[in-house]
Structure formats: C-alpha cells, structure tokens
Structure 1
C-alpha cells in the first residue's frame, strides 16, 4: 500500500465511523418523531391531530443555519435537515400537497423544496383546483405562485383568496432558471418553434429576440407541457427548468436564458390551519374599500402609526358595484402581536371588508 493509499484509508475509515453515528442518530430522531405522533393522537385525537407545524419547522431550520460552522454552506445544511424532517413527518402522517401541474413545473419544484421529497406532490389542472382540493380536505396543503421579481403579482391567485376560505401557512422563494431544452442531437439552426408558458416568454424576451428572432413562439399551459411537446416534435425547443428536462429526457441547448439573473418567484403555502408565531413572521390580509379621496391613506396610516412595516401592497378591482377596490397587503408581524391586533381592529372599523389570510413564518430557504 502506497503512502497516499494509507493516508486515504485512515480518512475513509473515519468517514465510515461518522456515517455509522449519523445513521444511528437518524433512526433515533425518527423514533422520537413516531413518539411525537403518538402523543398528539393521544391528546388531540387521531382525526384532528395537527402533525405539520410550520412555525416549528422554521425555528428548527433557522437554528440549524445559526449554529452551522462550515465548511458546508448554511442553506445546504438547512436543505439536508429539511429532508430529514420530511422523512420523519412522513412517519407521523404522510402529507399530500397539491400544486399546479403537470409534473415538472417550477411549482412542483417549490413544493418539494418546502415539504421535502417524502411528501406526496399531487398535480392539479388549474389554480382553482389547487384551492378546491385543499378546501375539500383532499390535500393537506397547496402551493401557489404569488409574485415574480420580473413580472409582478400573480393576480389570479389573489382573486382566488377572495373566493376560498383558506389560510396562508407559509411562504418560500425559488430562483427561477430557464433553459432552452431540445431533443438529443438537435442543432440550434433547426429550431423553428419554441414552447413555453406566457410568463416564461416574458422573462426571456430579450434573449429570445437576440438568439431566435424568427422562431415561432407557441404559448402552452405550463413549461412542463411545453417540454413534453418538444420531446415528441422534431425542430422544436421548450423553455423549462431542470425537473422538466429530466422528466422528458431533454438536453440543455442553452442554460439560464432568463433576462434577469436574479429572477425569483415567491410561492405561498395554503391550508386550513392557523399558524403560531415563529418569532419572524408575516401577515397577509385582503381589504375592500370604496373609491373615494384619501382611501389609500386611511388604510395605510394605522400601519405607520403603530410602527408596522409593509412588505407588499397590491390593488385589484373588487368586482362589486360602486367602484370598489380590493387591496392585498403583506406586513411584518404575527396576528397575535398586540400592535398588529390594534391595526386590524382599526381597519375593520373603517373598511368595507377585511379578510385575514393568515400569519406565517417568513421564508427560510
């Protein structure tokens, strides 16, 4: 055995020993999770026991990153713990999570990022169906897009919050990287048409104009559907991400073609439960008010007076008579905070309608 082989053997033996310890601790954690489930069922009842606690998971992930000393990056360690928690939660109660399908979309990628790969991700044909599936109890949670850093708010999602009585239980942000995907051995000069969702075309507009000015743009219901079509048609390409590439066995012709390199989409987790305070939370509300002078000031002034920071405000037609408008507002703080309760109380007394969408932990990953 050479000197190098001897040195490597020592290190590999250390790795084997560490792996044994990790394996032992993982099984101990899983056993503890099973006992947690038993306690919840004993005291809460099997039918109504709450197994997924968004605030608890957010606190655990934050502590993981705070105590991390490297060399692994904070978020990489947190992703590992996310999968550990996902596996352990599945031992307590498997989660079924609805998302806008088909399989291979960025929304499914967001669902897996938030809940881990041990959750069952269920594709739906529309955002309406995602909301219906959760409200009916056929899915424990749903994942829906709410805004993109390039294209702004997902207005259809906002409108659905008015129709359905669901709570926002969490949020996450996902870096969106678009690739130009093709069949194996496809030459760039042979591409005559490109499939993509309309928002992806918008996010890659300048790049497409510069590189494929004469290719036909065909809008489809999702990037995953575009990838499926491109996998069957010669001379076509699709704009999609890594999941769709793997699912439909396509190759990357050009990587990261989005016009904005920091292109990010924010997603919301919808469910039917109220979420406790994590210590770093957001609250979202919907308000409708008549169109009259000073209405926006009257709605926003209580936030300023009580020192609450707004993180998002969006205006939508309320769809009612009298030129009413609907305001979607995100702000820092939890509904259990006394100053948040004061603001909501003042707003309820002055607005036509106020709907609390939920308080939830800020995105950790």
Structure 2
C-alpha cells in the first residue's frame, strides 16, 4: 500500500520539506511506502485528505516569528473528520534567490507573505527600494524568475538547487532560530502522545466566558502551551479558541477536563493527541 501525503506545492516549499520528514517517519515506523502530492493552497491540501484523495496532509500551523498560520486553523475549524497524527518542527532558513548579478540590480522580490514578514528587517536594510510582492508559496515565487531577470524570490536553498537557480544571499531571515511547526493530519484516530490540541466556541460573549473553560485546566494543573482566538465568522466579537495541552488525551486528568469542558462550551472539537518531532538540518 502506498500512502499519499498532501502538502502545499509546488516542489521546493518548506511544506514539502516537512512532508519529506513525514515520509521518513512513516516509512521507519510502518514500513509503508509513500508518495507526495502537492496542492496549490492549504485548504485544498486539507480537503484532499478529508475527501479521501490522500491519506495524510502536512500543513503549517505556527511559526516562531510570525505566529499562527490562520488559514490552517480556520479551515480545520470548519472540518470534523481530520485528526492530528504528529507534529513536525522544521528549521526555516531563507535565501534570496535570483538570476540578477547582484542586489543592486533587483527591482522586485516575490515570496509567501510569511516569508516576507520573517525577512522584513533584512529587506528594509538591504533592499529598501525594492517592490515586495506576495506569492501563494515560496516555490511558486521562483517561477517568476524565468521571465523577470531583475526579480528575486525568497525560498530555501534546497528549492534553489531543485530549480537550478543562484543564491544571492543566505540566510536572510531576521532571527536565526526561525522555525515552523507543521501538523500531520489524517482521518484515522490520533495515536496519542505528549501534546493534545483542541478548539472550542463559548455560548455567549459575556464576562467569564473564557476564564471558566481555562479554569478547568488550571484546577487540574494541566499546562497550556498555546492559546489563541480566531474570529468565528458569525458576528463581530464572536471567537473560536484554540488550545494546546502538554499532556495526552489518554491521561485520565485530561479526560476529566474535557468532560467538564463540554459544560462550558458551545462546540468542542478534539483535534488530536500526538508527539512532536524536531527536524535537524
């Protein structure tokens, strides 16, 4: 059996790097072969697995510099069948890639909005007059360079090698410890592990609506490593909350907390319980 793994494409994205790490983990633990399938957006990547077109999806969920990837969170809230199987933390080291002879020749730089934000300081110092144009992915930005010799793109050195393009400068990210956490999702039940992620909405926007659910964890001494709100899309001031717990959902204390949490939430979604793997480059 060949496991199909969906990721944001085209070839050369950091999401593909994470998918390659996922493939190595899958083959080492199960012996199953796998094949990567690129998609043009994060929602399409997730829907491919939800529909059964692929067995797994690898999507970014949080960057250490720019915070959460809101498209991932918003799309998962709309779904009911996907469960987190594993988290992968990938180091992110950006390169400026171009056929231009030097930095002074550049007029435009293309990149995914997250990459532009992660290199904002460097771009302001080194290329203050250059036009910055968002792209759907860093690898997609590289395709602009064929027709635009005075343009550059931000991507990984692996992507530059893959497309046989020169690297003008590396690394250009503002912080050396830049990394992104990816989730591996599938329709099978999550395996359990060191962390549990969930999302919930509250019945009404009233004082104490959030603090009451949070006390469910505090009274049981359960540590929350992340809490974040996203607009519910229903009305202004109405939010959905995403939480990461540093414990497995199999833990009896977590199970008790989740049971009590149902009394204080309108909708509660357990996104999965999983372990985290750190990729070293």
User: Structure 2 length as normaliser, TM-score?
Assistant: 0.91
Q: CA deviation at 1:255?
A: 0.4
Q: Where do 4+ consecutive residues of structure 1 move more than 6 Å?
A: none
Match of 2:83 in 1: 167
Q: Residue 354 in 1 paired to residue 262 in 2?
A: no
> What is the alpha-carbon distance in structure 2 between the residues aligned to residue 357 and residue 337 of structure 1?
16
Aligned match for 1:247, one of 162, 171, 193: 162
1:150 to 2:58 alignment: no
> Is it true that 1:297 corresponds to 2:208 in the alignment?
no
Larger radius of gyration: 1
Separation of aligned partners in 2, 1:190 and 1:237: 10
> Relative to total residues, which structure has the larger helix share, 1 or 2?
1
How far, CA to CA, are the matches of 1:198 and 1:362 in structure 2? 26
Query: RMSD value over aligned CA atoms?
Result: 1.6
Question: How many aligned positions are there?
Answer: 270
What is aligned with 2:200?
A: 287
Considering fraction of residues, name the structure with more strand. Answer: 2
> Which residue number in structure 2 is paired with residue 133 of structure 1?
48
- In structure 2, relative to structure 1, the CA distance for the partners of 1:191 and 1:329 (3 Å cut) is same
Shift of 1:305: 1.0
Shift of 1:364: 4.5
1:322 CA drift (Å): 8.6
Matches within 5 A, 1:191-230: 191-230=106-145
Give 2:95's match in structure 1, choosing from 160, 179, 191.
179
Q: Which has the higher contact order (CA 8 A, sep 6+)?
A: 2
2:151 corresponds in structure 1 to 236
Q: Secondary structure at the match of 1:266?
A: strand
User: Could you tell me how far 1:206 is from its partner in structure 2?
Assistant: 1.0
Question: Does the residue aligned with 1:230 lie in a helix, a strand or coil?
Answer: helix
Contact 2:110 2:132 in 1 (8 A): yes
Q: Which secondary structure state, in structure 2, belongs to the residue aligned with residue 128 of structure 1?
A: helix
Residue aligning to 2:30: none
1:219 Cα offset (Å): 1.7
Asked if the contact 1:174/1:264 (under 8 Å) is kept, the reply is yes
List aligned pairs for 1:66-105, cutoff 5 A: 93-105=1-13
